[in-house]
Structure formats: structure tokens, C-alpha cells
Amino acid sequence: MKILIAIPLALAVIAAGGMGSVFQTGAWYEALNKPGWTPPNWLFPIAWTFLYISITVAGYRVAVRNSPLVPTAMAFWALQITLNAIWTPIVFGANDLFLGVVVIVAMWCAIIATTVLNFRIDRIAGWLFVPYIAWVGYASALNISLWLLN
């Protein structure tokens, strides 16, 4: 039964992560005015690999718990991964920095809600989401800066 939970979680994360390989940054991104604190491009796949593993493990740990909060936590988990999956094609496919800001701020809020619920259900799952909050907060600030500078 637990495998029936793990497989959809892993597939959702793979789909979200795969969006990053479909839409490369390309010349458009390279030509943008960027703040001095923009991370190097090589850091993104390393950070996201770690985060996608953490997101999957946290989702699984919550999904298999016996808590009345599990359905709500998993709904927020699904919301944040959906927003995660659509952000890349919005920014790097459609080159829409403003809509990217809207989506990433919504994603960050959904991640915070998921984290709070995770902590109430499984402390390890909560801690697994803390780096994700930090990274998407940083990415949100970067997306906002890119929109304002361009």
C-alpha cells in the first residue's frame, strides 16, 4: 500500500523537476539585467536535486501517517509541486517575469503552509521542507529583482 503513495509523489516531483530540463535559461535569461547576488547557473541543478529528494521524502512521510491533517497537508503538497512545475515554463518558456513573481510567491506561501502542517504531523517531514522554504524565498527575491530590473 505504501508503494501506491510513493509512486505518485515521486512522479509529481520528477515532472516538476523535468520542466527545468525542458526549458533552458538560454540567451533571453543571459541577457537580463541581474542583481549581483544572482547565483551561478551550475548551482541550480545541485540545489534542486537535493530539494526534490527532500520534497518527495517529506511527502511520503506525511502521507503514511495516521493523522486527520494528512489530507490537508497532501493537498498543500500537491499545490506547491504544481506551482513549482508551472513556474519554469512561465518564466523560461513564456519569458513572463511578472507572472513568474505571482506564481513563485504563491508557491512560497503553499510551501510554508505545507511545512507547518508537516511539522504537526511528522517533525522530520517538517525539517525536510525548511531548506525548500529558504531556497524558494531566495528564488522569489531573485524573480522579483529580475522583474524590477527588466
81 near 65, Cβ under 8 Å?
no
Q: 126 pLDDT exceeds 60?
A: yes
Q: Which of 37, 14, 26 is nearest to 143 (CA)?
A: 37
Region for residue 127 given its phi and psi (left: phi exceeds 0; alpha: psi -120 to 50; beta: otherwise): alpha
pLDDT of residue 127: 98
38 near 142, Cβ under 8 Å?
yes
Q: Which of 150, 142, 147 is nearest to 35 (CA)?
A: 142
- Taking only the tens place, the pLDDT of each residue in 55-107 is 999 999 999 999 999 999 999 999 999 999 999 899 988 999 999 999 999 99
142 near 100, Cβ under 8 Å?
no
Average pLDDT value for residue range 10-18: 65
Domains and CATH numbers, the chain: 2-149 (1.20.1260.100)
SS3 35: coil
